[in-house]
A and B are shown apart, each in its own frame.
Chain A
Amino acid sequence: MQKYILKRLLQLLPTVLVIVIVTWGLIRLAPGDPALALAGEMATPEMIEALRITYGLNKPLQEQLRIYLTKVFQGDLGYSLTYGIPVLRIIIMRLPATLLLMISANVVSFGIGVPLGAYLGSKYPSKRDSAISIVALVSYSVPIFFSGLLLITIFGFYLRWFPMAGMVSMLIKKEGWNHVVDVLWHATLPILTLSIVFLPQYLLVTRAGVIEIMQKDFIKTARYLGLRERSIYYKHALRNTLISVVTLLGIRLSLSLTGAIMTETVFAWPGMGKLLYDAILARDYPLLSGLFLVSAMLVVVMSLITDIIIGFLDPQVRFG
Chain B
Amino acid sequence: MGDRLTIEVRRNIENLWHLISFDKKSIVGLAIILFLILLDFFAGYIAPYHPEELFELFVSPNNVYLMGTDQIGRDVFSRLLHGTRVSLIFGFGAGMVALIVGITVGSMAGYYGGFLDDLLSRTIEMFLMIPSLFLVILAVALFGTNMYVSMICVGLTVWPSNAKIMRAQVLSIKNQEYVMSARLIGASDFRILVRHIIPNAIAPVIANATLLVGSAILTEAALSFLGLGDLNNPSWGQMLHYAQYYIGAWWMALFPGLFITVTIVAFNFLGSGLNIALNPKLRLILGKREELFV
Contacts and interface: CB of A to CB of B under 8 A. Distances in A.
Interface stretch (B40-48, B100-108, B137-145): B137-145
Interface in A2-27: 14-15, 18-19, 22, 26
B138 A26 contact: yes
A166 to B, nearest CB: 14
23 contacts: A29-B142, A137-B25, A137-B272, A138-B265, A141-B214, A142-B261, A143-B218, A143-B221, A143-B264, A145-B294, A157-B247, A204-B284, A204-B286, A208-B282, A208-B286, A212-B283, A259-B292, A261-B133, A276-B134, A288-B141, A289-B138, A292-B135, A295-B134
Interface in B127-156: 129-135, 137-138, 140-142
Given A141-B265, A244-B287, A296 B281 contact: no
Nearest to B225: A145
A141 B138 contact: no
Contacts of A252: 292
Contact of A144 (B247, B281, B294): B294
Interface in B196-231: 214, 218, 221-222, 225-228
B281 A215 contact: yes
Interface of B: 25, 122, 125-126, 129-135, 137-138, 140-142, 214, 218, 221-222, 225-228, 237, 240, 243-244, 247-248, 250, 253-254, 257, 260-261, 264-265, 268-269, 272, 281-284, 286-287, 289, 292-294
A289 B139 CA distance: 11
Interface stretch (A147-155, A182-190, A229-237): A147-155
A244 B283 CA distance: 12
A181 interface: no
The A interface, classified by DSSP as helix, strand, loop or mixed, is: helix
B287 A145 contact: no
A299 interface: yes
A143 B261 contact: yes
B248 to A, nearest CB: 7
B125 A15 contact: yes
